[in-house]
Amino acid sequence: MQNYKITLLKGDGIGPEIVDQAVKVLDRAADKFGFTVTYDEALLGGCAIDATGVPLPDETVAKCKASDSVILGAVGGPKWDNQPGNNRPEAGLLGIRGALGLFANLRPSVIFGPLKSASPIKDDIIGDNMDIMIVRELTGGIYFGERGRGDDCAWDTEKYSVAEVERIARVAFDLAMKRNKKLTSVDKANVLESSRLWRETVIRLSAEYPEVELNHMYVDNCAMQLVRNPKQFDVIVTSNIFGDILSDEASMIAGSIGMLASASLSGGKLGLYEPIHGSAPDIAGLGIANPLATILSVAMMLRYSLAQPEAAQAIEDAVSEVLKTNRTPDIYEEGMNKVSCEQMGDLVCQML
Ligand code: NAD
C-alpha cells in the first residue's frame, strides 16, 4: 500500500486548529482510497521563534525536504510584531519557500455553488462553474531583481531568463492539459522587454502542447476581463508581480477568504500547500475558524503532489455538499446550521 510522508507546519493562531481538521479529512480519504499517511510536525513562524529563537529552524527545512509534501497552517500574530524584520514569523514563510525551491504558485479561484451569493460579482457573470487557476512565477522578476536608491530616485528591475519562463510555462501547460486545455499568458509585451521575452518563450513552448489553446493578454486588460467575464479563463500564467495582483483579484471573485486554497510547487513532487489567509489572531482558540481553505489545500496536494486525483475530487465534492446546509460563522447565512471548526471537519469526513 502506498504510504506518503507529510510534514505539518501548523504555525500560529488558528494554524493548529485548521491543520488538525485537514489531517482528519486526509486520514479519511486515505482509508477510503487505499493509501496511508505518516505525519511529522515541525516548527515555523512565531512558535519556532518562541522555541528556538528563529522563525525557520534548520530542522524544519530538513524535515520538509525529506517528506512527500508539506501542509502549512499560517504564521504570525501580534506577539511577534516587534521582532526585527528578518526574524519575524513571515521571514520563516519566505525562507521555507526559498529553501524548497518553490517557484510556482497555484491559486485556484472556484465558486462553490452554495456560496455564490458570497461573491461580489453578479450571478449571471460568474455562471455556475467558474473555475480559474492562476499560475504565478514565485522566485524571479521584479521582487528579486536588482534594486537601489540614488539621491532622489529609486529603481527595481524586472528580469527573467528563458529558463525561468520555460519552467513556469511548463507547469501551466501541464495543468491546462489536465483541465480544459486553455491557457492565457499574461504580460505587458507592448511596453516591457522582459514581457516580450516571456511571450516569445511561451509561444515556443506551445509547440510541445498542440492540444492547448494558447492566448496572450496584457495585464491591464486581464484585470478588467477577470471581473467582466471570468468564465472565459481556464489557466492563467504570469510573472511574479502580475500574479501577485491578479491572484488576489481572482480569489475575491470566489468570496470568502476562509475558502481559498493554494499550492506552491518545485517542479518535482514536493509541494507546499496552505490556505491563503493568515493566522487570524482575532479568532484563534475560539473554535470558529473556517478549516475549508486548508482542507481544499489538502485536495490540491492529493492532485498535484501525491497523484491521487480521485481522492482530491471526492474531498472537493464533499465540501460542496456540506456547504449546502452547514456554515462556519465567517460564511454563515440565515437558515443554515452554524458549525464550529471541528464540526466542519467532521462533516466533511462523514460526507466522504
Ligand atoms: P488574516 O487572514 O489572518 O485575517 C483577516 C480576517 O479574516 C480576520 O478577521 C480573520 O478573523 C479572518 N479570517 C482569516 N482566516 C479565517 C478563517 N479560516 N476562518 C474565519 N475567518 C478567517 O489576516 P491579518 O489579520 O492581516 O493577519 C494576521 C496575521 O497573519 C499577521 O501576523 C499576518 O502577518 C499573518 N499572515 C500570515 C499569512 C500566512 O501564514 N501565509 C498570510 C497572511 C497573513
Question: What CATH code is carried by the domain that includes residue 295?
Answer: 3.40.718.10
pLDDT at 253: 84
Q: Provide the mean pLDDT of the chain.
A: 94
Tell me the pLDDT tens digit for each residue of 269-278.
899 999 999 9
State yes or no: is 68 an active-site residue.
no
Domain assignment of residue 164, yes or no: yes
Q: Which of 253, 277, 312 is the last residue of a domain?
A: 253
Distance CA 110, CA 259 (A): 9
Whether the per-residue pLDDT at 129 is higher than 80: the answer is no
CA distance to 38, 196, 232, 258, 286, per residue, from 185 (Å): 38, 12, 13, 28, 42
332 annotated active-site = no
Q: Is residue 220 flagged as an active site residue?
A: yes
Q: Are the CB atoms for 219 and 188 separated by under 8 Å?
A: yes
Range of the domain at 128: 120-253
The gap between the terminal CA atoms of the chain, to the nearest Å, is 20
Please give the tally of structural domains in the chain: 2
89 with 144, same domain? Answer: no
Residue nearest (by alpha carbon) to ligand 1 atom 30: 278
One domain for residues 62 and 99: yes
pTM to 2 decimals?
0.91
Tell me which of 12, 68, 187, 244 is the catalytic residue: 244
pLDDT score, position 313: 97
Would you say the CB of residue 92 lies under 6 angstroms from ligand 1? no
75 lines ligand 1 (CB under 6 A): yes
Mutate to test the pocket of ligand 1, among 256, 273, 279, 282 (most ligand atoms within 8 A of CB): 279
Which of 32, 79, 116, 143 is flagged as catalytic? 143
Q: Do 144 and 249 belong together in one domain?
A: yes
The finding on whether 76 has its CB within 6 A of some atom of ligand 1 is yes
C-alpha cell at 6: 507529510
> Is 153 strand, coil or helix?
coil
* pLDDT above 90 for 86: no
Q: What distances in angstroms separate CA 80 from CA 45, 86, 90, 98, 233, one per listed residue? A: 9, 12, 10, 22, 40
User: Residues 294, 207: one domain?
Assistant: no
Domain boundary among 253, 273, 290: 253
The amino acid occupying position 246 is: L
For residue 206, tell me if it sits in a domain.
Answer: yes
Confidence of residue 41 (pLDDT cuts 50, 70, 90): very high
List the catalytic residue out of 40, 220, 282, 317: 220
Nine-digit cell string for 349: 469526513
Highest mean pLDDT, choosing among 34-38, 93-97, 144-148 = 34-38
Question: Does the Cβ of 91 fall within 6 Å of ligand 1?
Answer: no
Does residue 268 register a pLDDT over 90? no
